[in-house]
Structures are given as structure tokens and as C-alpha cells.
Amino acid sequence: MSAVRERARGRSDVPPRTRTFVITPVLVVYLALAVLLVVGSVLVGVHGGVLLDHGGILNILTRGTVLGLVAIGQTLVIVTGSLDLSVAYLVGLCSLVAAETMAGSPAMIVPGVLAALVVAAVVGLVNGLVITVLKANAFIATLGVALVLRGYLEHNYTGPAGSVPRAFQHIGYDRIGPVPVAALLMLLLAAAAWWYLRRTRTGYHMYAVGGDVDVARLSGVRTGRTIVTAHVLCAVMAGLAGVFLAGRLGSGAPYVGTDAGYDLESIAAVVLGGTALAGGRGGVAGTIGGVLILSTLDTIFDDLGLDSFFKDVVRGVVLIVAVALYARRRAARRST
């Protein structure tokens, strides 16, 4: 409902040609988040609770951390005009690699994290190379890699494995006031990714490749290298998410990524944040807004004690409505 109101306002406020005040998708996302927080607070208040108390904020941010990490990486890939469906299994794999390398000893924390990130980077490299060298469609290439990872996990693991030393579990639970340290780290990485996309040469190239790969190539951009870079960074972010989850769970879990559906969920968050699925438009700021919207929705539903399956229904509707609004705005602007 709130989104509909946003659109109505957006349409009347945007004069066709002036650049003074443009309602960007990012602004819409955060307005929607604000409206959601207000509406959610009222609903939870009527129900006899408080949404944004200490526990509520903690809940929203903790839920958002892992999805945020994966979605930041997914943003880079989608902006480049690609897609990564392998992140969910990669999260599980990296949590296992980290936990098994650490094997409960504090001395192995750094090697464990590094090993997980190296594995992630290799998987990202494979994704990127299959797409650029073998010229496979990104959807199929990453789906294929996802299935290979799934086969490996199913063949070798039946349940949680490895163990994480107590010292490392701090990363999962420490917090400053109501704000988890890990969420701050995630936001820091988001800022880094924003800077990377907007202020570096490779970042610009990602937008160029996503906008039109042929034009980018003719303009002298090494398109293959850009796509591979995006995939490696995306995989490393998924690896970080796996490492964080290992820290939180105390061990590696093969299906921790797929149970939460991080592959499609992260794409949903990115698209909700106003990034075009076809690439070339959008950014990390919107993605973080999308992630916060999803985790706030979850928290509201928990506070209201609603059926968790209802969450999926609302989530699906929100996703479709949001993208429909972006598409309409874009079509409207093009026709004027």
C-alpha cells in the first residue's frame, strides 16, 4: 500500500525536464522502508508490543547481515548484467571450509577465514570464466556451478561439520548497544562496494558492461575481465557470509545457505533496491534498503505472531509490486 502512495507522489512531483529534485529508486526504497517501519510499529503496537525496541533493532540487523553480505556481491554481478545462482551453496561450502580448517583452535582462525575466501574466489573465477570463455548464459553457468557444489555437499556431508573456536564466535554475537558488530562490518563493506562501483574505473566499467556489452567492448572496455572481476567479488562476499554464519552457528552447515534461499532472496533484495535485472542501472545503497525492508518485514511478522508461510506470500507480492512500479516509472519517463 505504501509503495502505491509513493508512486502517486513520485509521478506528480517529477516535472519532465528539471533536474533539481529527482525521485531516485534509492529514495523510494528508503521512503518505503520508513513507511514500513511506521506502519509496522503501529501494527505491533496495537498487538501489544514494540517494534523498534532493543531486541527489535537487533533482530532486524542480525537478519539483514548475512543477506546483506550476499546481496552486496549480487549487486555487483547484476549491475554487470550477469546473475549468480550459486551463492546459496557457496555460503554453505564456505561455512564448512572455515569451520573445518579452524577445527576449534584459535590459532587457525586466520587460515580458516582465508581458506574459505580462497575457495569462494575460485568458485567465482569458475563462474566468470564459464560465462566469458565458454560464452554460457550466466543463468545456466551459475546454475550449473550451483548444481556441482550441491552434488559435492550432498556427497560429502550429511550434517554440520567442523567447529569454530570460541574466540571467533564473538564475531557472531558481539554488539555495541543494540547494533551487532557484524552488521556494522556489513555496512562498512557496503560502503566500500558503493565506493568501488561509483569511484573506480572497474566500477564504472561494470555499469558500462551491464548497460550494453557491445558498446562497452567497442569503447575499449575489457568486458570479459570486468565480468570475471564482478563474479569473483560476488563469490568472496558470499564466502564472507558463510564465514560469519560459521561463527554464529559454531560449526559449518552444508545447507545453511539453501535453507534460507540466499540465491533467489539476494536477487530479490537487489531488485527490490531498484537495480535493473538487465544490468547497467542501480547500486549498493538501494540494495541495503531492499535487505532492510525484507528483514523488517520478517521481524514485523514475528512480532505479530503470524504464520511464517504468510511471509513468503507477502514477500512475493511486495517483490512483484515494487518491480512493477520501477518499470512503470521508467516507461513513463521514456515516453515523456
Partner 1 sequence: MRARPRLADGTGPVLVVLLILLVGLAFAGPAYAEPGGYLALLKRAAPLVVLAVGQYFVIVSGGFDLSVGSLVTAEVVVAARLVNGDDANTGWVIALLLGCGILVGLVNGLITTKLLVPSFIVTLGMLLVLDGAVFLWSGGAPRGALSPSFRLIGRGSVDVPVLGQLPWSVIVLLVVVAAAVWFMRSGTGRTLLAVGDNENVVRLAGGRVDRLRLLAFVLSGLLASVAAILLAGFAGVSAQVGEGLEFRAITAVVLGGVLLGGGRGSVVAAAAGALSLEALFSLLNLLGVSGALESAVQGVIIIAAVAYAAHGAGLWRVLRPHRPVPDTA
In whole angstroms, what is the distance from residue 279 CA to residue 207 CA? 7
Nearer to partner 1, 76 or 126 (CB): 126
Look-up: residue for cell 513507511? 35
The least distance separating partner 1 from the CB of residue 290, rounded to whole angstroms, comes to: 12
Among the listed ranges 29-37, 164-172, 271-279, 296-304, the one in contact with partner 1 (CB under 8 A) is 271-279
150 touching partner 1, by CB under 8 A: yes
Give SS3 for 253: coil
The least distance separating partner 1 from the CB of residue 293, rounded to whole angstroms, comes to: 14
Look-up: residue for cell 552447515? 253
327 touching partner 1, by CB under 8 A: yes
Among the listed ranges 42-50, 59-67, 69-77, 141-149, the one in contact with partner 1 (CB under 8 A) is 141-149
Nearer to partner 1, 42 or 133 (CB): 133
- Chain-centroid distance, C-alpha 54: 24
Nearer to partner 1, 53 or 307 (CB): 307
Binding mask 152-191 for partner 1 (x = CB under 8 A): x-xx------------------------------------
- Chain-centroid distance, C-alpha 7: 24
- Alpha-carbon dihedral sign for residues 316, 292, 31, 20: negative
215 touching partner 1, by CB under 8 A: no
Radius of gyration of the chain (CA): 20
Nearer to partner 1, 260 or 271 (CB): 271
For partner 1, the binding residues in 274-293 under the rule CB under 8 A are 277-278
In whole angstroms, what is the distance from residue 274 CA to residue 269 CA? 9
In whole angstroms, what is the distance from residue 120 CA to residue 126 CA? 10
For partner 1, the binding residues in 105-134 under the rule CB under 8 A are 130, 133-134
Neighbours of 266 (CB within 10 A): 37
Element (H, E) at 180: strand 179-180
11 touching partner 1, by CB under 8 A: no
Category of 162 on φ-ψ map: left (φ > 0), alpha (ψ -120 to 50) or beta: left
267 touching partner 1, by CB under 8 A: yes
The least distance separating partner 1 from the CB of residue 135, rounded to whole angstroms, comes to: 4
Q: What is the amino acid identity at position 215? A: V
264 touching partner 1, by CB under 8 A: yes
Angle at 23 between CA 330 and CA 265, to 5 degrees: 70
Nearer to partner 1, 85 or 285 (CB): 85
Residues that bind partner 1 (CB under 8 A): 130, 133-137, 139-141, 143-152, 154-155, 264, 267-268, 271, 277-278, 307, 309-317, 319-320, 323-324, 327-328, 331
